[in-house]
Structure 1
């Protein structure tokens, strides 16, 4: 598995991944947040690929020196293989390169179901936080 930065040519594949991985409402919110984050900083949108297929995506952002993981999506056929854990480690590294040392999870209703996963990551200090506004509508 390879983790890399999102490229424009990934857009269609990522949209398809989000459709099969997330609820319809979550997918719509995530697509809007993806567009916003890409306009700010595409280095914080990660792609997991295996054999030229995109199997995971993660959207991170930094706001006021705080690092946030907005969304993780892993294709249902590849869950339980460490994809999310590997992407989170890479995101953590990218945050550290920018002097952001604590990862926070955007604690919306869609991420709440992933709380046990995040709590299982003893090697990463993670807090759930409620954003004042969804990432898709936050101002720069």
Structure 2
């Protein structure tokens, strides 16, 4: 497994991963946030690669001195193999390099179902917040 920054050549594989691993609604929201984060800071989009296959994705962002994990997606065939933990650890390293003081989980209905995963990493429900600068704009 290799964790690395997203590259433009990954785009097709990442969109397929998102379609495979997220609900249709979540995928649509994530694609918009993905595009916005690419325009802001592509180094905060990480992929997990296994045998030349994009198996996982983490989209992070920084707002002032706070780092946010916006979305994590792992292909169903690669779940429970440590990819999610490796992505989060790598993103935390990037946040530390940028002097981020606190890491939070962007709160939305799609991330709330991942609470057991985040709790296994030591995240508390208080660490779930809405970023001041939203990555996804939900119509409604």
- Fold conserved between structures, TM > 0.5: yes
Normalised to the residue count of structure 2, the TM-score between the two structures is: 0.92
Deviation at 1:132, TM superposition (A): 4.8
Where do residues 45-124 of structure 1 align in structure 2 (5 Å cutoff)?
45-122=45-122
Partner of 2:25: 25
Deviation at 1:100, TM superposition (A): 0.6
**CA gap 1:108/1:133 in 2 versus in 1, 3 angstroms:** farther
Q: Which runs of 5+ in 1 are unaligned?
A: none
SS of 1:88 mapped into structure 2: helix
Normalised to the residue count of structure 1, the TM-score between the two structures is: 0.92
- 1: CA distance between counterparts of 2:107 and 2:136? 14
- 2: CA distance between counterparts of 1:23 and 1:134? 20
Instruction: Point out 4+ residue stretches in structure 1 off by more than 3 angstroms.
Output: 131-134
Cα RMSD of the aligned pairs, angstroms, is 1.5
Report how many aligned residue pairs link the two structures. Answer: 136
Where do residues 121-132 of structure 1 align in structure 2 (5 Å cutoff)?
121-122=121-122, 127-132=127-132
SS of 1:80 mapped into structure 2: coil
Deviation at 1:65, TM superposition (A): 1.2
Q: Which runs of 5+ in 2 are unaligned?
A: none
**CA shift digits 1:50-102 (9 cap, x unpaired):** 11000000000001111000000000001000000000000000000000132
SS of 1:100 mapped into structure 2: coil
